[in-house]
Amino acid sequence: YQLHIKSFFDSNNDGIGDFAGLISKLDYIAELGVNTLWLLPFYPSPRRDDGYDIAEYKAVHPDYGSMADARRFIAEAHKRGLRVITELVINHTSDQHPWFQRARHAKRGSKAREFYVWSDDDQKYDGTRIIFLDTEKSNWTWDPVAGQYFWHRFYSHQPDLNFDNPQVLKAVIGVMRFWLDLGVDGLRLDAIPYLIERDGTNNENLAETHDVLKAIRAEIDANYPDRMLLAEANQWPEDTRPYFGEGDGDECHMAFHFPLMPRMYMALAMEDRFPITDILRQTPEIPANCQWAIFLRNHDELTLEMVTDRERDYLWNYYAEDRRARINLGIRRRLAPLLQRDRRRIELLTSLLLSMPGTPTLYYGDELGMGDNIYLGDRDGVRTPMQWSPDRNGGFSRADPQRLVLPPIMDPLYGYQTVNVEAQSHDPHSLLNWTRRMLAVRKQQKAFGRGSLRTLTPSNRRILAYIREYTDADGNTEVILCVANVSRAAQAAELELSQYADKVPVEMLGGSAFPPIGQLPFLLTLPPYAFYWFLLASRDRM
């Protein structure tokens, strides 16, 4: 469950969410059925990039509370069986960070200056793409104090650290140890494909980057064997695979599967399973001790970097007809507005999220069908306050509305008077309670989290069908059949399941037994945007 402290709950009514507010809502998160919390950056920062421009790694932004509050939060989360993942932003810092201020005043060639990447001109590394095309014209920015240009892959106020300087890696490991000693269970490594620069390359996925990650992982294995590293590498599956490490997985324990996400939306737009089955076919095997992290939405734009130009135009035209919804190479919208409040499509995509290989990540508010505000700057439109009740400010804060960190959603379709936790908690058929039930069902089967996936190929391409299978140490096997209709019209499909003859498909959400599987193709009909999860059970257990 991914959330931003500033937007979750405000305990002291200053208009900004805080650790004390988050602690007071931990029961809600635990009752939802998730087991891990991923917090966006909460460190001291000018917040020109919403906290990813870190000015001090070993402290808490005073708006969010104190270090004592952070410690109490970690303890309270653990008390409820929730693990905690925080951000380790190691590619860059804020230009306000003491390291950078020291570097720009230090002598050229000194260890302090070489904490960052400098050049006398802005022509070096000219084969490198610019990530934020909307705002940045170059990856170099002139610093008048240093009298040199500094390198940045992101915004011009975020200079990149220089991992060719051993002191940088030493400092980063010190930061990592600080938070792991505090009790944090995992660290999300932000923007790791860009750690190293070499002339004549595109400065992504360089071999030396993996040397840095192996050193970080070695520190984890030696001193924190029960903690994990989550890689943010917005790359093709074959380019992401090395971030798990070779052989037995000696780099990151987990990595986001970025290319899968836009193809789930593409399948619905095209009413064709091919985008999903194609990217699954391209996804390589990963070490047994590693896992993918999958998602539908998060705090950033719905990135369309991992699609072709033609596919990007198609998705923009389908999901972001209003050009204000487009930013960089993506779409700044939440899940419900993307799907025009169509409950069937929201449920269908969530069913895919929860049944695909990997660990699903839920973005705060999406369990309610929260809306967004594309009139806010940057990506703030998807980071608005959590909607707890129909009360003032959606129950997020008692502060005057103009003091809030971001304005709450107030339109008639998605406003907090309509969409909120209080109302949906009392409605047994709400999206919130449906999500809770789905998470409870998913938790009962290890095949979803750890099983293999095999796609079926019915002649009707509007039907996506796949088998999840898991065998435990005792030789017990779970087999789950997942079937989804990605079309707006009712569909029929014949599935080749003869190897499971005499098994009885039991629909997992309602417990209904379907006719036994025989030697002939298994016929299923599905309403528009419908899905089934079947547990294939033996007849003698029925």
Phi, psi of 218 (to 5 degrees): -60, -40
- Amino acid in position 180: L
Instruction: Name the residue with tokens 């290890």.
Output: 446
Residue 224 near residue 74, CB atoms below 8 Å: no
Return phi, psi of residue 197, to 5°: -120, 135
Strand pairing partners for 83? 36
CB atoms within 10 A of CB 150: 23
Two tokens, residue 259: 């290319």
Question: Which residue bears the tokens 């999206």?
Answer: 431
Given the residues 190, 197, 251, 347, the one annotated as active site = 190
300 is catalytic: no
CB-based contact 107:113 (threshold 8 Å): yes
Catalytic, out of 232, 300, 367, 378: 232
The rounded distance, in Å, linking the Cα atoms of 235 and 421 is: 36
In 3D, which of 119, 112, 117, 114 has the Cα closest to residue 98? 112
Active site residue 305: no
Distance of CA 381 to the CA centre of its chain: 17
**Spatial CA neighbour of 383 closest among 417, 348, 420, 333:** 333
Distances (CA, A) of 481 to 417, 463, 470, 486: 39, 13, 12, 16
**Closest by CA position to 333, among listed 384, 388, 405, 368:** 384
Q: Distance between CA 279 and CA 258 in Å, rounded?
A: 10
Q: Are 155 and 139 in contact (CB under 8 A)?
A: no
- 109 Cβ contact list (under 8 Å, min separation 6): none
Give the list of residues 6+ apart from residue 349 with CB closer than 8 angstroms, or none.
Answer: 264, 265, 268, 296, 335, 339
Bridge partners of residue 478, in order along the sequence? 470
Q: Could you give the CA distance from residue 79 to residue 75 in angstroms, rounded to a whole number?
A: 6
- Which are the catalytic amino acids? 190, 232
